[in-house]
Amino acid sequence: MVDVGAASGGVWKSTDGTTTFQPVFDKQPVQSIGAITVDPTQRKIVWVGTGESWTRNSVSIGNGVYRSADGGETWQHMGLSESERITRILIHPADSNTVYVCAPGKLWSDSAERGLFKTSDGGQTWSQVLKGPNLSTGCGALSMDPKDPNVLFASLWDFRRQGWTFRSGGEGPTAKSGSGLFRTADGGATWTEVGLGAKGFGPKPFGRIEVEIAPSNPDIVYAVVESTRSALFRSSDGGTTWEERDRSQSMVWRPFYFSNLVVDPKNAERVFKMNLNLIVSDDGGKSFTGAGGSAHGDWHDLWIDPDNTQTILGGDDAGLWLSMNGGTLWHKNHNLPISQFYHVSVDDQSPYQVYGGLQDNTSWIGDSQYPGGISNSRWEALPGGDGFWVFSDPADPNYVYFESQGGALVRIHRKTLQQRDIQPKSDRAGEKLRFNWNAPLHLSPNEKGTLYIGAQFLFRTRDQGQTWERISPDLTTNDPAKQKQEQSGGITVDNSAAEQHTTIYSISESPVRPSMIWVGTDDGNVQLTVDGGDTWRNTAGAIKDVPKASWVSWVEASPHDADVAFVTLDRHTFGDMEPHAYMTRDAGKSWARIASKAQGVRGYAHVIKQDPVNANVLYLGTELGLFVSIDQGRHWAEFKGDNFPAVAVRDLVIHPRDHDLVVATHGRGIWIIDDLTPVRSLGPDVLGSEVAFVPGRAEIQQIQAFGGWPVGDAMFFGENPSGDIVINYFQKSRHLFGKLKLEVFDAEGKLVDTLPASKRRGMNRVSWAMRGKPPRVPMGATISFAATQGLRHLPGDYTLRMTKNGQVYERKIHIGMDPKATYSLEDRKAQHAAATEVQRLFERMSSLNDRIVGLRDQARSKAAGLPEADRQRKALLALGESADALRKKIVATTEGGAITGEERLREHTDALYAAIVFWEAVQGLTI
Amino acid sequence: MIRLRLIAGCCLLLSTSFAQAIDADELIRKNIDARGGMAAIKALKSVALTGKFRGGGGFEADYAERIGRPSLLRQEFSIQGMTQIQAYDGKEAWQISPFGGRKDPDKLPEDIRKSMETRADVEGPLVDYASKGHRVAYLGTEDVDGTEAHKLKVLLKNGNEMTYYFDPDFFLEIRVQSKEFVRGSEQESETDLGDYEQHGGVFFPTAIDSGAKGSSSDEKAKIEVTTIEVNVELDPAQFAFPANSPKS
């Protein structure tokens, strides 16, 4: 059994040693996981702390602790709702009701629910047993003495992130900080600060401190301490005195992200430290060497098998890894779909491809469908960095635009993989272009080859990035107080572009009027030009009831009306986790709020899109899910589908040809809702009816394609859309009693199929394969494989008829040819006629075979009734044998299960049938 | 790439009715009543079902199933005049898989026998569950495609597990998930049930869609039951491992 917590993708459980995983936390309202702990005495009791504690700029949020008593099948929320994030949960080894929760607390704002919490009644009540001196200090680390569970070390960590800065410790390297390391010997009743004095960690202030007691010798304790002299410390007397050990760069780098220590369960001198690369010391921390092999890096956690310490599971920014040789080499698990996308786009290929950029995992291009399923091998990685915006060049599909962090932009040739840096640079001395970590790149919806990128200025290229023009002044507040990233980090400076601020964050050129361009900035401006960039107007002041400087996470020009636009404001960087979405109908002169917590929308808002066909339909992505409105934001419904979790939705794109909604989640990969057409038809008339057929996209009979090959069970496969005709209908209530009959009639009114109807409440989809009955074939030793399939009916006009509780509902549909087909409808008719002729051959063969078998059996039966010496008996037996010999010329009859290779008339006919049925372009064939 | 179903999400645009809390025994009582009542279920001696099996891509087979007391089960899938049989006589489970050219019966292993043993209970495991050695636990409600269904876990005596989801208004099963153990490893499956019809005073589902746990409707194989006969005479020989191999 293996439980895995994803940074923003829920909890996954494997019961087969990581070969396969199932998500077990998807019904819960948050998906960011900070800690998982299995009860040491009762395997089925699992505690989960929500909210990742490695507090990078893109980190999600949690809402407290959960407990499962049945191995993850059901969960109970156990409180600490305001903790936002949890680092570690430890359970008393002899008392399952005693549990400690280490909660750093809120990242973006002050809060009281942070520190170390303890329950003695299984989570019914909690007491805060260790708290910081201020409202920005929480628990950073926790370790329990394996021999005396009343002895614990816990660190306090003072930290805060804002949109433009971060601190671990105080406001600077020497500023006052609430951080420190503490020890209790009475289960948290009293605490003593350790690491002070001459044999301590050196002078305060401290930042993040990680602490770990060696499981095999609790006198040995390790602590990595962030300070102006960051280092690893080792105590050999249970934390009373400490000795400085390694203080290489690996102890300095990004303590807020890389502090975790894991000590070998058997060897107290072997300690792993999570770092950019995984490192390990075999001499108690005096020296370290790399242990990450060829794994991705940015490590966060390890589990070492206590029975065989060569077996290690590890988690880093690329997922889950397994080492069978103590961390020298690593095997990657390809079965956890927990990727964190920032953005997504699509191209116009058929089937289209999906393009998306991933947190710390570059950008990828993948198939939206592929015969046999979309395996990981159907995804192609582009080179380098964190991935953000990535587009196929609409002017030349041989190229893609690929953007990594800080606006780094290249144009890559898809086949040769040559790339050219096309990021605009400043040509003015001393001027710094401020590109956001997630700088916006925007393709013109009106002009191929035109794209925009935003720094503090808006840049436009009309020649695919060869040259750029600056088409705006600084559109931000240009607030110098928010431009001190070189001092960001608190004790340890950390200026990776993640805190770059006063930048343009969102761009949208009106699809209706190309001269209108909207720009949203991370410091609260919503700028509009109506003249292609000559003049600009900040419309943010017209957004009422929201504080200034709110992060404009999305701006979207309506595809229907030039005066209509939408913005989402993301205020989570100020501690406000509620959704804010606004709509203007007068080009920004006024804005009306259209999404709020009161409307049932949860989570801070990332993206809003208006349906390109039905202007009333809106799609909203927030940190906690996907929401849809069919009345321009007066009402919203959370879109759960079958199984969509409350994961962050960072970007949405509607495929203009196929009408699919492609969803970029930050934690659960790419999802596709096939065909939004039925959603567009939802209104009071449909929702008020008992049953209603609703239209789907234009139906085509897709070409038959074959692919895929076994790659084992430890592989994620994306599901394909239905290759059949999809029938959409709405039911007001679940159908429970009596037959729900769904019939298909051809243009002549002939019944061609009766389908198993879907019974769900709400929207239903049923796939119709368009196959008729398979031919009757003479029975042989084995099955006649191709003949198990019927012919596909021809494209054309059909009528759907549903009968429910005596009521009849009908809808006519037209099924066209697949544009990818290399044959005409006339070809199809010829193929259909040929296949029908083969079916007749099968029928004649079957009838003949029936008669022969009948004759054989009759002869044998009569012979059996005659005396052995009877002459007629011999003749009858001979007749039976002759008949059977004839049968054996028609069908293969050798039984036993071996590969007989026996080919008779039936087998040849089956091969002929297969050749015709599975290639529908047969021409000029006569039989 | 993951396909997100359009279907259930739009239910949320409708008003939602909430299932009332209930305990396991009360839920089982309501289910038994909904199925036709204890007397009618106890009066069932046997059930014979026939219908159509549909796999993906339009593949079809004829389907037949017979279940009888005390613990008899026989399932048949027929194509091109050949019939695949899986059967259980209360002791042994066996099968004939003729499609590859071999029509001899084969014994089935203990893990499959356990699964068939559960299906061979004509009244279902919830009836007299305690005396059968099963344990039950009510797990609250959970959304099943837009229906907030009651969830009941059944720990079977043989070690396998079933999770029932009951319609909150009519208390009939709309989904059953099974967790079975194959050489110690969990294997989970899911069956959606609907189109209930009453025969012999008992309601039976006539739409049975089965697949892996969490599979979509398209991914599930579908059985449409077209005839149901109750209390038909069953020949015990049909369920016992054949003494002689059948004729070709």
Residue A922 confidence (pLDDT) = 65
Residue B244 lies inside a defined structural domain of this protein = no
The answer to whether position B156 is within a domain reads: yes
From A597's Cα to the closest Cα of chain B, the distance in A is 16
Query: Left, alpha or beta for A279 (phi > 0: left; psi -120 to 50: alpha)?
Result: beta
Q: Please check whether residue B246 lies inside any domain of the structure.
A: no
ipTM: 0.92
CB contact under 8 A, B224 and A70: no
Distance, in Å, from the CA atom of A856 to the CA atom of A876, rounded to the nearest integer, reads: 9
Total CB pairs under 8 A between chain A and B: 225
CA neighbours closer than 13 Å in the CB half-sphere of residue A241 = 5
DSSP 8-state symbol, B3: E
Burial class (CB in 10 A: 0-12, 13-18, 19+), A122: middle
- B-chain residues within 8 Å CB-CB of A368? 1
Do A201 and A227 form a contact (C-beta atoms < 8 A)? Answer: yes
- B216 band by pLDDT with thresholds 50, 70 and 90: confident
CA distance A386 to A401: 14
A677 has pLDDT over 80: yes
Tokens read off for B111: 């893990």
Of the pLDDT bands very low, low, confident and very high (cuts 50, 70, 90), residue B239 is: very high
CATH number of A699-708+718-817: 2.60.40
Instruction: Give the closest-approach CA distance of A879 to chain B in angstroms.
Output: 19
Instruction: Give the alpha-carbon dihedral of A857, A858, A862, A864, to 10 degrees.
Output: 10
Q: Quick one: pLDDT at residue A751? A: 98
Q: Round to whole Å and give the CA distance between A734 and A422.
A: 55
Is residue A775 reached through a cis peptide bond, with omega within 30 degrees of 0 on the bond before it?
no
- Report the share of chain B in percent with pLDDT over 70: 90
Q: What is the Cα–Cα distance from A755 to A766, expressed in whole angstroms?
A: 8
Which chain A residue lies closest to B104 (C-alpha atoms)?
Answer: A896
Calculate the alpha carbon distances from B199 to A535, B31, B63, B193, B225 in Å: 77, 16, 19, 16, 13
- Is the CB of A847 inside 8 Å of chain B's CB atoms? no
- Tokens describing residue A311: 């077996």
Confidence of residue B9 (pLDDT cuts 50, 70, 90): very low
Residue of higher predicted confidence among A812 and A640: A812
Please answer yes or no on whether A366 and B1 come within 8 Å at the CB atom. yes
Contacts of A894 in chain B (CB under 8 A): 101
Confirm or reject contact between A759 and chain B (CB < 8 A). yes
Instruction: Please judge whether A718 and B206 are an interchain contact, meaning their C-beta atoms are less than 8 angstroms apart.
Output: no
Local confidence band at A422 (pLDDT 50, 70, 90 cut-offs): very high
Both tokens of residue A416? Answer: 């040769």
Same fold for the pair A1-131 and A699-708+718-817:
no
Residue A183 Cα distances to A119, A143, A180, angstroms: 18, 10, 10
CA A178 to chain centre: 37
Give backbone dihedrals phi and psi of B5, rounded to 5 degrees, phi first.
-70, 135
From CA A80, how far away is CA A727, in angstroms rounded?
46
- Of A738, A758, A896, which has the smallest distance from its Cβ to B102's Cβ? A896
User: From the candidates B12, B13, B78, which should be mutated to test the interface with A, based on the most A CB atoms within 10 A?
Assistant: B13
Chain B residues within 8 A of A720 when measuring between CB atoms: 3
Helix axis angle, A871-890 to A905-917, nearest 10° = 20
pLDDT in tens, A802-825: 999 899 999 999 999 999 999 999
CB A83 within 8 A of CB A114: yes
Q: Which residues of A touch B13 (CB under 8 A)?
A: 630, 635, 637, 682, 687, 762
pLDDT at B16 over 80: no
Which residue in A663, A763, A779 is closest to B7 by CB distance?
A763
Count: domains in chain B:
1
Confidence bin at B248 (pLDDT 50/70/90):
very low
Q: What CATH number is associated with residue B26?
A: 2.50.20.10
* A107 has a pLDDT exceeding 80: yes
**Confidence (pLDDT) at A103:** 98
A500 interfaces chain B, CB cutoff of 8 Å: no
Would the pLDDT of B244 be above 70? no
Interchain CB distance below 8 Å, B207 and A628:
no
What's the CA gap between A54 and A86, in Å, rounded?
Answer: 10
Find the closest chain B residue to A669 by CA distance. B1
**CATH number for domain A1-131, candidates 3.30.980.20, 3.20.20.70, 2.130.10.10, 3.30.413.10:** 2.130.10.10
Please say whether the beta carbons of B73 and B67 come within 8 A: yes
Rounded to the nearest angstrom, the minimum Cα separation between B129 and chain A is 21
pLDDT score, position A718: 93
Q: Do A895 and B101 touch (CB under 8 A)?
A: yes
Distance from the A278 Cα atom to the nearest Cα atom in chain B, whole angstroms:
30
Does the beta carbon of A634 lie under 8 angstroms from any beta carbon of chain B?
A: no
CB-hemisphere CA count at 13 Å for A347?
24
Residue B167 confidence (pLDDT) above 90: yes
Place of tokens 């893990």: B111
Domain assignment present for residue B14? The answer is no
Coil, strand or helix at A460: strand
Interchain CB contact of A44 with B (< 8 Å):
no
Question: Would residue B52 count as lying in a domain?
Answer: yes
3-class secondary structure, A288: coil
Pairing mode, strands A725-731 and A691-693: antiparallel
Residue A925 has pLDDT above 60, yes or no: no
If phi > 0 it is left, if psi is from -120 to 50 it is alpha, else beta; for residue B181 that is: beta
Contact status, residue A642 vs residue B7, Cβ threshold 8 Å: yes
Residues of A in contact with B103 (CB under 8 A): 895
Could you count the other beta carbons within 10 Å of the beta carbon of residue A712?
A: 8
Contact B11 A777 (CB under 8 A): no
- Looking at residue B18, its pLDDT comes to 55
Cα–Cα distance list, A219 to A86, A141, A180, A181, A240 (Å): 27, 18, 20, 16, 10
**By the CB < 8 Å criterion, does A779 face chain B?**
yes
Query: Chain B: residue nearest A28 by CA?
Result: B142
Across the interface, whether the CB atoms of A765 and B11 are under 8 A apart is answered no
A384 burial via Cβ count (<10 Å: 0-12, 13-18, 19+): middle
Residue of B35, B63, B80, B208 best to disrupt the A interface, most CBs of A under 10 A: B80
Q: What is the band of B54 on the pLDDT scale with cuts at 50, 70, 90?
A: very high
- Which CATH superfamily, name and number, covers A539-676? YVTN repeat-like/Quinoprotein amine dehydrogenase (2.130.10.10)
Contact B7 A782 (CB under 8 A): no
Is the pLDDT at A926 greater than 60? The verdict is: no
Q: Which domain holds residue B40?
A: 19-238
3-state SS class at A686 = helix
Residue B140 Cα, gap to closest chain A Cα (Å): 9
Could you tell me where the beta strands, DSSP code E, fall in A579-711? 580-584, 592-595, 605-610, 618-622, 625-629, 637-638, 649-654, 661-665, 670-673, 691-693, 699-701
Which residue type is seen at B199?
H
Mutation to test the A interface, candidates B1, B60, B84, B147, most A Cβ within 10 Å: B1
Measured CA to CA, the distance from residue A606 to residue A617 in angstroms comes to 17
Set of chain A residues whose Cβ sits within 8 Å of the Cβ of B35? none
Which comes out higher in pLDDT, residue A583 or B3?
A583
- 3 state DSSP class of A557: strand
Q: Which of A307, A226, A297, A299 is nearest to A262 (CA)?
A: A299
Nearest Cα to Cα of residue B193 among B211, B215, B176, B212: B176
Q: Which amino acid is at A728?
A: N
Q: Give Cβ neighbours of residue A899 (< 8 Å, ≥ 6 apart).
A: none
- The residue behind tokens 């921390």 is A285
Cross-chain residue pair B1–A643, CB shorter than 8 Å: no
8-state DSSP, A499: T
pLDDT band at residue A924 under the 50/70/90 scheme: low
Nearest-CA distance A781 → chain B (Å)? 5
pLDDT confidence tier of residue B12, bands split at 50, 70 and 90: very low
User: Domain ranges in chain A?
Assistant: 1-131, 539-676, 699-708+718-817, 825-917
Query: Is pLDDT above 50 for B247?
Result: no
What phi, psi does B63 have (nearest 5°)? -125, 140
pLDDT (0 to 100) of residue A787:
96
Contact state of B3 with A897 under an 8 Å Cβ cutoff: no
Contact A88, A47 (CB under 8 A): no
Q: Decide: B2 and A669 in contact? Cβ < 8 Å.
A: yes
Within a domain: residue B11? no
Half-sphere exposure of A398 (CA within 13 A, CB side): 6
Of B4, B100, B101, the CB nearest to A672: B4
pTM of the entire predicted model: 0.95
Token pair in block for residue A847? 């009838």
Arithmetic mean of pLDDT over chain A:
96
Q: Which residues of A touch B148 (CB under 8 A)?
A: none
Identity at B202, one-letter amino acid code: V
